[in-house]
Chain A
Amino acid sequence: MHFEYNIISGDFSNAGSASSQIKKVLKQLNVETVTIKRIVVALYEAEVNVVAHSFGGTIFVDINTEEILLRLKDTGPGIPDIKLAMQEGFSTASPQVREMGFGAGMGLANIKKNADKLEIKSEVGVGTEVTIMVKLNE
């Protein structure tokens, strides 16, 4: 199964809608609740990152019997220092975003904790691609 969702930069009112739709699909597929919970946390955080930090992007979701693969591709601005971005507590979020309770620097840590594989590729001026894999039969 393949799904795609567009994410608009700064569109916080729709943040989480892709996660919500994928959650419904996984429930229909009878994926274990524990696994669905992990996927939902990882996807929501990744989705919010694209809304909060990028110029916009697309989520590509592929589900087979073994695993779910989430690819979030944005059109920039790119992450200059991925190692720094991965540090818990580090955030470049604006004061407005922080006031909403986002931007605590916990997002990537939440993704890493819940994913079986996390890969971040980024080029400044080009964009970022985050790939998250979660096994479905653990």
Chain B
Amino acid sequence: MKVEEIVKALDLKIFSGEKGLSNEITNGYSSDLLSDVMGSAEAGCVWITLQTHKNVLAIASLKELAAIILVKGYKPEDDMAAQSNEENIPVLGTDKQAFEISAELFNLIKK
């Protein structure tokens, strides 16, 4: 499944990193602790978080994650969005909270 498909299916906003919309998704990871994601997320994961700063992109790039979904209406800080465009890792958004969007993404991926 590609990032653009979950954007449509889950009605996500696209903040930045449009060039990465064709990235392939393998799984998801929900966490707001950076070291947790660094230690445990797999390549190709969609990262669900409320962290909105540039370090999120540094980790997403190092771990080769597919995309980031910001929850509860959070928006990326300017340097996070800029880094997302540079790395081609989309930053997406939803008004839903992490539990709900994680469940929806889980059902979508596991189908």
Contact = CB atoms under 8 A, between A and B. Distances in A.
Given A100-B51, A101-B33, A20 B38 contact: no
Contacts of B35: 45, 102, 104, 106-107, 110
A127 interface: no
B36 interface: yes
B58 interface: yes
B104 interface: no
Interface in A1-40: 12-13, 15-17, 19-20, 23, 37, 40
Interface bracket on B: 20 to 34
Interface of B: 32-36, 38-39, 43, 49, 51, 53-56, 58-59, 61-63, 79
30 contacts: A12-B53, A12-B54, A13-B55, A13-B79, A16-B55, A16-B58, A16-B59, A16-B61, A19-B62, A20-B62, A23-B62, A37-B63, A40-B63, A41-B39, A41-B62, A44-B38, A48-B34, A101-B32, A101-B33, A101-B34, A101-B51, A104-B34, A104-B35, A106-B36, A106-B39, A107-B35, A109-B39, A110-B35, A110-B38, A113-B39
